Structure 1
Amino acid sequence: MDHDRALSLHRQSRRRRAPGPRACPADCFTGACRGDGVIAWARLIRLPNLPSPLADIALGALAAGWPADPLPVVFLALASMAIYAAGMVLNDYFDVSEDCLQRPERPLPRGDISRRDAGIAGHLLLGAGLVFATVSGHFLGGDDPTPGRVAMGLIAAVWVYNARAKRTIMGPFVMGACRGLNVLLGSSVAGESGLSAAWLPSAACFLYIAGLTWFARNDGGRSQRWQLAASAAVVAVSLGLTAWTLAVRGNWVPVAAVVGLVAFLGQRVSRALRNPQPASVRPAVGRLLLGYIPFDAAWAAGLAGPAGWGILILMPVMVGLRRLMAARLT
């Protein structure tokens, strides 16, 4: 699992103050960088992880009732990927001084892309996400404003997380809000009624990602056992909410999948609780990240039937993109 702030909108926050800009080559701030073109930008947006927000869009759309015309869903998917990519770019934009010391291989510290260009690209991608969501509303009939409104909330959460909240106590919960809002963005394909239909899976995704982000907060050093236990409890609540909701509906196959996911996650998480060192915490974080798409798929299958399992196809797609990137970098 890629721990270079991979899914994420899934980046851990750090308490240490970042060093000043003098730690970086001046060109990376003035815009005079020269880099590796497409590959550098692919690394900046974390291309292998770009399909991951599509799991939320599919879950939201299936929960709200997949429309006969798939075009609005296509535009919502484009909006989600644009906003996700923006979050990845702005993550490096705001953290460039820290990355110069801790992650010098990233495109901005290496001088492959200038900080100025990254900032422009990140904000343009946010704008593109809003445009795609608004266009989706146009295809819903009567220029429904719901997708655009949800996209604005998601954009605000992404920007606030990267610019302000990342290193605060609220950071994990703002990150969770990004994923919860992404599910609602998918459900906005059915307008206002879609938001009501998807609020439970949205809340579960919020809790899962908030707990994951909190769990990973100090994975570079010794974590506090109480923090790991509390964050694992947040993830457990999300899994319990999922299993209970689907069991009430009588959808036992997805419930069994959630139980299997609990076992899959519990092994690594319990090991991290016993030994809160990076060697134990990082594998647990990786497993929690790996479990998120199956978590979405279980919700989708429980709410919309077997079609929901189609979300799992995103996992081999992401693996293929990761291998492609690795081949290009060797």
Structure 2
Amino acid sequence: MVDLLHGGALEAAAWKIKNLPDYEARLERAARRLDALGRGPAALKIYETALMASGRPVEEVREKVRAFEETFEDDEEEMTIPRASGIMNVEDDSWFFGDERIRVMTGRLLGQFQHRVTQYNYVDENEVLRRWADGYDTRLFIRRRIHETEPIAGVVPGFELPLIQYLRVAAGGDTLVPTPGMARVLMSLGAVGEGEASDDYAVLGAAEGLALRLELPAPIAGEILNDLARGDNLEFPEPPAEVAEEPEGEAADEATGEVIGTGGTDSEEAKPSPDDRAARRAARNNAERGEEPTRVQDPHAKDAPGTKEEEGEKPEAAAPQAGPEDAPGSE
């Protein structure tokens, strides 16, 4: 299905952000912040994401992850998912801010992704994590608002949409994490309504659509929105009236978030002239008369052009006649 609801509003919102006087500086800051997030072994990305369930600031969470990495660093053995699981099984809850719930969540997530690594015949763990983050199936579960049935992270109790999105971004996925600050900025930009600002799915969809129109990776666009949310002044320049008009065909598929009709040269293709339209009508009429089928079809199909069934009774096939050599008793 195609969602055309916020098309023009997102075009206007993208124009407002691009025309901010400090847009380039915000873009650079967003890129620097994301650079630190995507580094490190897959096991530590999963661990960091689970720790975010504590509600503590991201700086405090990353400090805990760095301490864990330094404490158990081994030049001869990498911090793989199985090794991290083994360490966490024997260590106390201090590595989880004293929260048994986070400890259990971390163990289950590590187990789920270790199972995925074996399914991929032990491909690099970070690559397995990235494939999950950007996979079609994962995006489909999120877009259809059924993340709790997603086969990997979605089946872990307490691992809600914001945490799933945090892990997808950390793994290198082209998505973002919906936040209240981001929702407030999108509402100020006119990209979401007041009733949608409390809906993480609506905020996620609008922010990803805005990233497409900004021609930026979704994580970068998300950081820019969060950067704007940290400021006190949410005033934006007003775009010309024509900017708010959504070009034909630029609609987002709500199942995958992909834009329909904007890839390649679709958006640059000129509209057909009256002569072209007349020629196409003539071709269709010829096809209806059976002169020139417009597509390959089953010749036995009832709706195939130029293959109407003949009226009258169909002759029955005659029984095969037996020859002398087939007669009973012949040798």
Name the TM-score, length of structure 1 as normaliser. 0.29
Question: Counting helix residues as a fraction of each chain, which structure ranks higher?
Answer: 1
Larger radius of gyration: 2
